[in-house]
Amino acid sequence: MVTENPFGQVLVAMVTPMSVDGEVDWPGVESLMESLISHGADGLVVTGTTGETSTLTDAEKIQLVKTGKSVSGGRAKIITGGGSNETAHAIELYKASEKAGADGVMVVTPYYNKPTQAGVLTHFRLIADATDLPVILYDIPGRSGIEIKYDTILRAAKHPNIRAVKDAKGDLSEVSRVMNQTDLLYFAGDDANALPTLAIGGTGLIGVTANIAPEPYRIIVDAVNRSDLAAATAQHKLLEPLVRATMTHVPGTVATKYILHGLGRISSPRVRLPLVGPEESEAALIENDIALVHGVAGADFSNFRPDRNAAAGGALPKVAGTTR
């Protein structure tokens, strides 16, 4: 039986463009959304880790959903990420997102407070009970401090609204095991694992590098869908230095904004504190990797002009974020 997919396959973990003083650049948000959708994205995950959820206000998060719905005009799904490590606050956010028009929600494992697996499962179930939207569970132990264990995933999969997992754990043998036992859709949450995840039967990716180049991921997914592994592998290889530039030297948000600004696609590379722009040595590593990028569809680096001074430091917004 083929499981219905309410999310799409090429999903972008979208950055939130900001002005030099750290306020959301709403025209920049609209422009980036339009570019991503028109170049192959099936969906945008807003207010996630890459979107700086920890330093966005609740009002900004809801406005990002509304803006996404307005820009997409039904061409792409708008999925709200982030949530909270406080269950009651997460429920409030996801209800508001549903009212704002979100097509789905991505629920991260509660971070910092490190609940037991029983607490993790209860968190997921209560959120899924509170919304009619399809839910993606986000398994990212490197950030949350705990994983979603295999047995917990199986139990969560019994909830009718829990439809998918974004896997940033990278244990592909467990991914195969879960897919054998459930109808859950699996999305690669690590850009380097996009093709490997698809090759073992995964659904798609929720990618950071796709902010810069969604087209090659579209090519990879379409190639896998028609069983053309050679074509998919060729794109995977071309993407390798760009993925390395984006994901290995500084937080993905920081590198992505640095690169997008250098390409002239956003007005500022600014991030909100405690994130800061790359230091000189880190910027050099990013630029060295970018110099190796060639043949990537939709990513012409011949006019790449990174601005280390513009990226330096981080911003304190006028209103503090509301993620606890």
Determine the pLDDT at residue 1: 47
Where does residue 158 rank: exposed (0-12), middle (13-18), buried (19+ CB within 10 A)? exposed
Is-catalytic flag, 138? Answer: yes
Write phi, then psi, for 22 (nearest 5 degrees): 85, 10
Please give the Cα distance from 236 to 188 (Å, whole number).
14
| Residue appearing with tokens 């959301």 | 24
| Residue appearing with tokens 């170049």 | 39
Determine the pLDDT at residue 293: 98
Determine the pLDDT at residue 150: 98
Q: Which of 138, 186, 217, 258 is catalytic?
A: 138
Determine the pLDDT at residue 173: 97
The contacts of residue 2 (CB under 8 Å, 6+ apart) are: none
Q: Which of 61, 77, 111, 166 is catalytic?
A: 166
pTM: 0.97
The contacts of residue 37 (CB under 8 Å, 6+ apart) are: 44, 71, 72, 75, 76
Q: How far is CA 13 from CA 79, 100, 106, 292, in A?
A: 10, 19, 11, 24
Domain 10-227 of CATH type 3.20.20.70: yes
In 3D, which of 175, 195, 164 has the Cα closest to residue 43? 164
Is-catalytic flag, 166? Answer: yes
Give pLDDT tens digits along the chain (324 positions). 457 999 999 999 999 999 999 999 999 999 999 999 999 999 999 999 999 999 999 999 999 999 999 999 999 999 999 889 999 999 999 999 999 999 999 999 999 999 999 999 999 999 999 999 999 999 999 999 999 999 999 999 999 999 999 999 999 999 999 999 999 999 999 999 999 999 999 999 999 999 999 999 999 999 999 999 999 999 999 999 999 999 999 999 999 999 999 999 999 999 999 999 999 999 999 999 999 999 999 999 999 999 999 999 999 999 988 765
Determine the pLDDT at residue 66: 98
Determine the pLDDT at residue 324: 59
| Residue appearing with tokens 């993905």 | 252
Q: Any idea where the domains of the chain sit in the sequence? A: 10-227
Residue 34 has which token pair? Answer: 């339009």
Sequence letter at residue 235: Q
Sequence letter at residue 102: A
Determine the pLDDT at residue 82: 81
